[in-house]
Amino acid sequence: MKEIILDGKEMIDKTAAHKYIKKQMNFPDYYGENLDALWDLLSTTSTSTTIYLINEHEIINNLGEYGNLLLEVFQDASFENDSICFIKRDE
């Protein structure tokens, strides 16, 4: 089982957010760095993965509505794929 911590403070804009997610999640080079590509990888993985999100408010502050959409992708993927567990934690 993989455990990953994502820190909202690292997601200062769309590009930085996707580069950070790619690195933390160890996504392949072909990751398209957009919401559709994120959904594709999260919804199809068979590796049991727990993703902890800290500093959620920073994502919303930095990315606005895109931040909300990003969080929805993680949440929706955890509902659709039993291999993904998404937990928001206050830090």
C-alpha to C-alpha distance for 50 and 90, rounded to whole angstroms: 16
pLDDT-derived band at 88 (thresholds 50, 70, 90) equals very high
Number of structural domains (the chain) is: 1
Contact by Cβ (8 Å): 56, 88: yes
Residue range of the domain that includes 24: 2-89
Report the length, in residues, of the chain. Answer: 91
pLDDT exceeds 70 at position 17:
yes
Write out pLDDT tens, residues 26-44.
999 999 999 999 999 999 9
Average pLDDT over residues 60-78: 98
Q: Count CA within 13 A, CB hemisphere, residue 3.
A: 2
pLDDT exceeds 80 at position 91:
no
C-alpha to C-alpha distance for 10 and 49, rounded to whole angstroms: 20
pLDDT at 48: 98
For residue 51, the domain's CATH number is 3.30.370.10
Average pLDDT over residues 14-25: 98
Average pLDDT over residues 49-77: 97
